[in-house]
Amino acid sequence: MPGLVGIDLGGTSIRAAVASGPTAYSEPVARCPTPAASGPEAVIAACADAARQAARGTPDGIAIGIPGPLDPEEGIVFAAPHLPGFEGLPARKLLSEAAGCPVAIHNDSNLAGYAEWVAGMGRGTRSFVFVIVGTGIGGAVIVEGNLHVGVAGTAAEVGHVPCSLDGPRCGQGHLGCLEGIASGTGIARRAAAALVAGEDSRLRGMASPDASVIAKAARAGDPLAIRLYAEAGRALGRSFGGLINILGPEAIATGGGVASHFDLLEGALRQGMAEIAFEVPLRHCRVGRAQLGSEAGLVGAVAWAVKKFGAPG
């Protein structure tokens, strides 16, 4: 029976599910590979097919999380790093036409953060920050109970706050961004540079170790790996301190692959926060790991569908 559908669109896979409540979805979840190499029309068609499969018919409405900066009000995707051809794409219009129902689009990190606010660590707060630390760094900001999107929907790009004047470049080529130091890509690149410079490490001889391999080396006592995670943690903490001073959130949750190694980050992260944040708002802000893990994207899309189009049924 048709209903409201949430879609989690990634660079490699698409997941779609029917809302069974404000923050819940029904099984089974429709899954398919993302035909990214075939262009945006093929991706949109695959999303529409997944939505119809999940709803067993034409959905009553769809909310979709898309990886990249976009304008949720206009329905335009400005760019999507892992989806070629999505530059300036009227995704809402195209998906609505393909699926035959109303569509709401949003940035995937924002929807993951919205999920964490309504059903995870941010539950019950009015002011909340979600930071996803993985290949890159993204986030979401809830202010007085509202998902803050800013001008043209591009707010909460947490990975692109400056951490230093001469730090490594982020994925967008900017010098000194948080993403260049604390993302999975940033940690791996900094490890490679240290090895080229001759620093001793058990990572030497490995083919392009990623952040997970470096975390494993840190737990085994490797000094370089320990330092890289400590520096990433301190950079995250100083950025969090700035967010605390500006927004005064009740909680900050960290999710994503790098944040799954929170134990390696936490000490330096809390030290970095204390270096920047004022004492009173820091004392009133909970900081820790997000609770929804890999489910956040789909839960957020389903929850956003309910918010935009009404309760299921």
Are 114 and 108 in contact, with CB atoms under 8 Å apart? no
Q: For residue 156, is it within any domain?
A: yes
Same domain, 84 and 42: yes
Residue that wins the pLDDT comparison between 130 and 1: 130
Same domain, 163 and 188: yes
- 84 is in which domain, residue-wise? 4-112+295-309
Percent of the chain clearing pLDDT 70 (strictly above)? 99
Q: Is the model's pLDDT at 172 over the cut of 60?
A: yes
Tokens read off for 157: 């790009």
How much is the pLDDT for 165?
80
Q: For residue 118, is it within any domain?
A: no
Same domain, 271 and 167: yes
Detail the DSSP E strand segments found in 180-302.
Answer: 251-255, 286-289
Q: Is the model's pLDDT at 1 over the cut of 60?
A: no
Name which of 299, 269, 260 is nearest 135 in CA terms.
260
Q: For residue 50, is it within any domain?
A: yes
Same domain, 174 and 299: no
**DSSP state, residue 29:** P
What's the mean pLDDT when you consider all of the chain? 94
How much is the pLDDT for 313?
54
pTM of the predicted protein model: 0.93
Same domain, 38 and 130: no
Q: 91-131: per-residue pLDDT in tens? A: 999 999 999 999 999 999 999 999 999 999 999 999 999 99
Residue 125 CA to residue 123 CA, distance in Å, equals: 6
Q: 145-171: per-residue pLDDT in tens? A: 899 998 888 888 899 988 888 888 887
Same domain, 65 and 192: no
The CATH number of the domain holding residue 166 is 3.30.420.40
* 33-42, 160-169, 272-281: range with lowest mean pLDDT: 160-169
How much is the pLDDT for 312?
62
CB atoms within 10 A of CB 32: 14
Percent of the chain clearing pLDDT 90 (strictly above)? 86
Whole-Å CA distances, 87 to 39, 79, 234: 11, 4, 34
Same domain, 185 and 64: no
Average pLDDT of the residues in 189-194: 96
Same domain, 140 and 284: yes
Average pLDDT of the residues in 55-84: 95
Average pLDDT of the residues in 203-213: 93
Q: Is the model's pLDDT at 67 over the cut of 60?
A: yes
- Domain count of the chain? 2
Instruction: Please tell me the chain's helix, strand, coil percentages from 3-state DSSP, rounded to the nearest 5.
Output: 45, 20, 35
pLDDT band of 138, cuts 50, 70, 90:
very high
